Amino acid sequence: MIFDLLSLKIEPFYSLNQLNVKILDALRQFNHKEVIEYEIQVQSIITDNKKISITKKDETQANNFFIISLYFKMLLHYSALWDAMRDKKYQETWFYIQDCNDILRLLKNFEHDYNNYNLIEIEYNLFEIEKLFPFTFFNSAEMICGKSTCSICRRDTSNPECIHIPGELYWGKMAQQEMGDIKFNGIAILRNPKDKRCAITTVDGKEKLSEDNTKGLLLLATKISSPYYKIRIIETKQKEPIFKFKDLKKDDPCPCQSGKKFYQCCSRKKRIGIPHMKIFFDDEFKIGHQ
């Protein structure tokens, strides 16, 4: 739908398509400043035209503008993550990945041509980049909400008169629940949270972003020449001779990252398998019509 509309030779789609070409080109060159400039123009065109659609009582078109707006926001976050990664701001990179994922999840719901437009390639790249981060545990809030208001009709969401389903589009807006009267029950530590922004650092500091465990991100940012390359990260074990670890003490964590002490794990082996990641850049992909 998105690119069918953008390929129309009528305004505002013609202008939006021109800006799309410019954004994709700026993104290719990792020029985030330019992406931001074009993005501002895009969102302004979309806001104006969404208002016009609502005035004309054309709900479908208003919703279409919402979906197009999501696509451009996703490009902005995708650009921002590469900018942050190249700047060695890895925590920010992580947040931008999550921003992109949030939008891709919505686009997957709304855009039937998601796979055909190669948005799935961005999704796969984000999945691969996440592997380069040391995070495995996340905080997650557990709460009971006494009030839940619909963002569309302002009624209580449990009121049978409220027909709006969160995540559905109504007149160019997405229905959301606005929670109130919140009582926090606790915080859970999970591997599979709804929101991966609250990554936690383990007591031994292994999951803290340090120079040591962000080497993969540094390598990726240095070697990749375009964000449209399909990234493939393969986790292997590289055998290292035992003499390389002669300075390790018995109680030190084993370098094979089993979580055991060195003495109880690989200290008697001739070679130790060290976790190793190989980054491959496959073919370039093109966003939009193939």
Partner 1 sequence: MPLIITDTDIDLELFMNNLSLEDSTKERIRNGRIIILPEKVGENYTIYNDTLNLKKYINMTQKDLNVQICMDTKKITTYHLHSGDLWFSTLYFISTEIGLPLIIGIISSYIYDKLKKLKGEAQTIHIKIVIKDKKKNKTKMFSFDGPSEDIKDTFKKIDLNTIFK
Binders of partner 1 among residues 81 to 110 (CB under 8 A) are 101, 104-105, 108-109
Q: State CA 231 to chain mean position distance.
A: 15
Query: Residue 12, preceding bond cis, omega within 30 degrees?
Result: yes
Q: Site size for partner 1, by CB under 8 A? A: 38
Residue number, 34 or 130, with CB nearest to partner 1: 130
CA angle 245, 131, 31 (to 5 degrees): 115
Smallest distance from the beta carbon of 144 to partner 1, in angstroms?
5
Smallest distance from the beta carbon of 182 to partner 1, in angstroms?
9
- Closest to 68 in 3D by CA, of 151, 3, 152: 3
Residue number, 40 or 165, with CB nearest to partner 1: 165
Smallest distance from the beta carbon of 45 to partner 1, in angstroms?
28
Stretch 194-233: interaction string toward partner 1, x if CB under 8 A = xx--------------------------------------
Smallest distance from the beta carbon of 152 to partner 1, in angstroms?
12
* Dist. CA 207–CA 201, nearest whole Å: 5
In the chain the first and final C-alpha atoms are separated, in Å, by: 14
153 binds partner 1 per the rule CB under 8 A:
no
Coil/strand/helix, residue 154? coil
Smallest distance from the beta carbon of 167 to partner 1, in angstroms?
6
63 binds partner 1 per the rule CB under 8 A:
no
Joined together, the tokens standing for residue 73 give: 């926001």
- Closest to 13 in 3D by CA, of 57, 68, 66: 68
* Dist. CA 35–CA 79, nearest whole Å: 7
161 binds partner 1 per the rule CB under 8 A:
no
Length of the chain as a residue count? 290
14 binds partner 1 per the rule CB under 8 A:
no
CA angle 179, 183, 184 (to 5 degrees): 105
- Closest to 279 in 3D by CA, of 231, 236, 237: 231
118 binds partner 1 per the rule CB under 8 A:
no
* Dist. CA 104–CA 127, nearest whole Å: 12
77 binds partner 1 per the rule CB under 8 A:
no
55 binds partner 1 per the rule CB under 8 A:
no
Residue type, 108: K
* Dist. CA 207–CA 209, nearest whole Å: 6
Smallest distance from the beta carbon of 110 to partner 1, in angstroms?
10
Residue number, 13 or 94, with CB nearest to partner 1: 94
277 binds partner 1 per the rule CB under 8 A:
no
180 binds partner 1 per the rule CB under 8 A:
no
Positions touching partner 1 (CB under 8 A) are: 101, 104-105, 108-109, 123-124, 126-127, 130, 140-146, 148, 156-160, 162-167, 177, 179, 185, 188, 190, 192-195
